[in-house]
Amino acid sequence: MDILIKNCNLISMDEKKEKYEENMDIYISNGKIIKIARNIDVEKDTKIIDAKGKICMPGLINTHAHLSMSIFRETLDGYTLQDWLNKKIWPMEDKLTREDIYYASLLSCIEMISTGTTFANDQYFMTEDTIKAANDTKMRLQVTRTVNDVGELGKQRLEELEKLILEYNGKYENITLNIGIHGLYTTGRETLEKLIKLAEKYSLPVHMHFCENAQEALDIKKEYNVQRPVDVLKKYFTRTHNILAHVVKVSDEEIDEMSKMDISVAHCPVSNLRLGCGIAKIQQMHDKGVNVTLGTDGQGSGSNLDMFETMKFAGLLQKGVFENSANMESYEILKMATINGAKALNMEKSLGSIEEGKIADIIILDLNTETCEPMRKCFF
């Protein structure tokens, strides 16, 4: 069915357009944006959505999540990252069934739809059941089978990942894949080299936790016998497109070197706060040209998948912690949650902004609420 969104206030995230345009129409056919203009005329059988007084913007893109972890919501209080994983999460994950994964992922998909997210980058296992949940709810996902060397299943995890790629790469329009590496501190050199080869073989991005807290940074240096964690990136990740989650404990010099590589950072401020990891220097990364995006992490540490909450924390923390109210202007935060996320997931040609020819992943915001009135345009 063709759809016409009428009279919206448009935040398109299209760098060729004004940041904020009033009384715009968006004509959609077969899931694609056909025309953006004022006063578009259409055939009688077109579905009309009256968006007068409302805001239309691209669907939000969550670049780091673990959808099956809705089952672990609020299981964290007072644990460090390593203790939380070793003492709580990994023992519970060992008991999960495919049915658990499906319904936990289904709940996460519903949660994302209700809070404006249309695309998420998921890292977990039993991935086929998460894909089923995404298809049942029409969510868009980039997925992987996470690989590490914890326990004795490293080889099996690698085999499961390649099997997943062969089965699902290109199978569904709403599902893409990447190479999931849990982290350098949980993955040895031999396994890492095999994963990098898989990324090159299938031309897929790499999705990995990186320097989430101080202990992880120390463990990476010990595991790989390097002076700095970035030295591992420079050795192994120069030929791959990389999405690195967290990136809290890196030096200014490391940020400068990362800016010269094909790296996007998935900033997860709420999870980082809950785990006592610290605050990533995303303003500095942005200033250096690193593509910074936003993620919620799993609900076990992030509590929810609400990207609007994540945007609020991301902006306020950079202003408050670094004592500069000019840090992270609101429009830059919106870019992180939309077009920057699409770039990280290699989807910027079809998603991340409202442009003619792109997929119509669009959300409509009703600001006629007590907390949004009176509405101001000072940020645009």
CB-hemisphere CA count at 13 Å for 34? Answer: 12
Contacts of 334 (CB under 8 A, 6+ apart): 11, 13, 57, 311
Predicted local distance difference test score (pLDDT) of residue 376: 61
E strand map for 70-139:
117-122
Task: Using alpha carbons, select from 351, 314, 372 the residue that is nearest to residue 33.
Answer: 351
The backbone torsions φ and ψ at residue 7, rounded to the nearest 5 degrees and listed phi first, read 60, 35
| Sign, Cα dihedral of 281, 286, 290, 291 | positive
Cis peptide bond upstream of 58, omega within 30: no
Delineate the domains of the chain, giving CATH numbers in brackets: 3-57+356-365 (2.30.40.10), 60-344 (3.20.20.140)
Separation CA 143–CA 150 (nearest Å): 20
What is the maximum alpha-carbon separation in the chain? 68
Q: Are 137 and 174 in contact (CB under 8 A)?
A: no
Local confidence pLDDT in tens for the 380 residues of the chain: 899 999 999 999 999 999 999 999 999 999 999 999 999 998 888 999 999 999 999 999 999 999 999 998 877 777 888 888 888 788 888 889 999 999 999 999 999 999 999 999 999 999 999 999 999 999 999 999 999 998 777 789 999 999 999 999 999 999 999 999 999 999 999 999 999 999 999 999 999 999 999 999 999 999 999 999 999 999 999 999 999 999 999 999 999 999 999 999 999 999 999 999 999 999 999 999 999 999 999 998 888 999 999 999 999 999 999 999 999 999 999 999 999 999 999 999 999 999 999 999 999 999 888 888 777 655 54
Separation CA 154–CA 369 (nearest Å): 51
**Count of CB atoms situated within 10 Å of the CB of 39:** 9
Burial 14-37 (b: 16+ CB within 10 A, else e): beebebebeebbbbbeeeebbebe
Predicted local distance difference test score (pLDDT) of residue 355: 98
Residue type for position 135: N
Separation CA 70–CA 296 (nearest Å): 12
